[in-house]
Structure 1
């Protein structure tokens, strides 16, 4: 495996062999198109996590009991194709060892590396943007292309993205666009999260899923520190409801696109809390 940094999540008390959850950071933001800085976010999330109690009262569960190993962060690289290759290698090892990877970005392009290992699964994304460009800034692995690249891997009717409220005309007119199910934040507001959860349940069925959370899917009122903020987003409690409903079906999980330079502390804290929600709801 790669060499990692040494800062660890406070509740990550397990070694790799005995862990059920393996967390690592990917400090990469070289294709970011608006506000860079997401390469700094893995350690900001770890710092915020220090303020959380290890005992999660909402689940009556002690998080360290889950068996968490934190590998630290991959080294900083600038080439997106190399980074994706590294992520693919690390997550393949974790999947093969029957453990659940928890990946902290960095920008959303890193998700492609993890999904490359997967077949016959569905994907659940939280995101303000459709990220469906075939290429952006002359790069097919730009963070604005992640859903399109994951569609190439997983195939039609395998991806649902919730919170969408920013789509270019180019993306909308693509013949492939309807092969992904996009659920807008406006639709969630109008229909209520309980109804949307039932619709997501029907779409996912008995499939295992890869779960990817782009922090800009959440409204900037709750998560201001992101690279490409969009107004009128999902509530933090709506995202928690989605995590609770689908964590047990998740074989992998990532949190991406947090940009600490623009944060007031709320975004990193929310990201840290979502790690706890993911693990505790999976265990209970």
Structure 2
């Protein structure tokens, strides 16, 4: 694309890059939208169960079965200004798709809209983060994803938090739900620059205490990234790298909605429909509704 949002009207340029698939409630044009959904069907660095490239349309299909009126917030999502650009093409190279995501989200951020990215694997988050500075980040993830390189690739999905630290700086990232970390990551000398809140800590201290820390340590500009394996597999079985003893759906919803009015970018990653019973895609779809509806409610106050 190349314009990085410098054109006055970027709709045609963006639309030429994506397919024509849509999510329910996404009735707004790009020009009018506050929330811009797009899919990134990529899973080529996934190291266990691949298939997250199929997730964007699985999430869209599940969303079709949700009511547009969100009773928990008193918000009709048909009134929210949501656009769905469809999916990026299926690319083979992680560096290339990160560049494409960086370019697309640069336009969306420049136009003062909120990107909502449907992955795909978790490495994709880095593309959006490349456009951002002076923000904080909240990650939901079973894994610390703090390797400097994995399988010979510094942009592997196992490296996303390490790359995020390099982009945002120390004490700017809170990762919640951690229960899988290698000794290599802990011994890196950089691990303490991210606040990792384990799933055990969430359970021991309670979700209200975790939310208080999140609200205290995040700025008024937050990028929120959900790796679906952060949930316990009982809630989200269809993920690429499942880990037992995870977060509940209530935990994650509570964290997300507590700071939704601060969120400037949002993504959901690592959902693998090939291993799903339908619950994971439905939960991912519902999280999109929770984010948008809770944010719309907060902005009305």
TM-score (norm 2): 0.93
CA distance in 2, matches of 1:64, 1:24: 18
Counterpart of 2:72? 58
Alignment of 1:253 with 2:269, yes or no, is: no
Alignment of 1:231 with 2:244, yes or no, is: yes
Counterpart of 1:42? 56
> How many angstroms does 1:3 deviate by?
2.2
Alignment of 1:114 with 2:122, yes or no, is: no
CA distance in 1, matches of 2:78, 2:182: 43
User: Any idea what SS the aligned residue of 2:32 has?
Assistant: coil
Residue 108 of structure 2: which of 85, 94, 97 is its match?
94
Residue 244 of structure 1: which of 257, 269, 278 is its match?
257
Q: Choose 1-10 or 150-159, whichever is displaced more.
A: 1-10
Gaps of 5+ in 2: 1-13
CA RMSD, 1 decimal: 0.6
Deviations 1:118-175 (A, max 9, x none): 0000000000000000000000000000000010000000100000000000001110
CA distance in 2, matches of 1:133, 1:255: 21
Alignment of 1:211 with 2:227, yes or no, is: no
Alignment of 1:20 with 2:34, yes or no, is: yes
Counterpart of 1:276? 289
User: Any idea what SS the aligned residue of 1:64 has?
Assistant: coil
Residue 79 of structure 1: which of 93, 98, 110 is its match?
93
Residue 153 of structure 1: which of 151, 159, 167 is its match?
167
CA distance in 2, matches of 1:31, 1:146: 11
Alignment of 1:4 with 2:18, yes or no, is: yes
CA distance in 2, matches of 1:23, 1:187: 33
> How many angstroms does 1:207 deviate by?
3.3
TM-score (norm 1): 0.99
Which aligned runs of 4 or more in structure 1 are off by greater than 3 angstroms? none
User: Any idea what SS the aligned residue of 1:109 has?
Assistant: helix
Counterpart of 1:170? 184
Deviations 1:232-280 (A, max 9, x none): 0000001000111011100000000000000000000000000000000
> How many angstroms does 1:6 deviate by?
1.5
CA distance in 1, matches of 2:70, 2:142: 29
Gaps of 5+ in 1: none
CA distance in 2, matches of 1:147, 1:3: 27
User: Any idea what SS the aligned residue of 2:78 has?
Assistant: helix
CA distance in 2, matches of 1:103, 1:27: 10
CA distance in 1, matches of 2:82, 2:265: 14
User: Any idea what SS the aligned residue of 1:25 has?
Assistant: strand
The aligned length equals 283
Alignment of 1:185 with 2:199, yes or no, is: yes
Deviations 1:105-130 (A, max 9, x none): 00000000000000000000000000
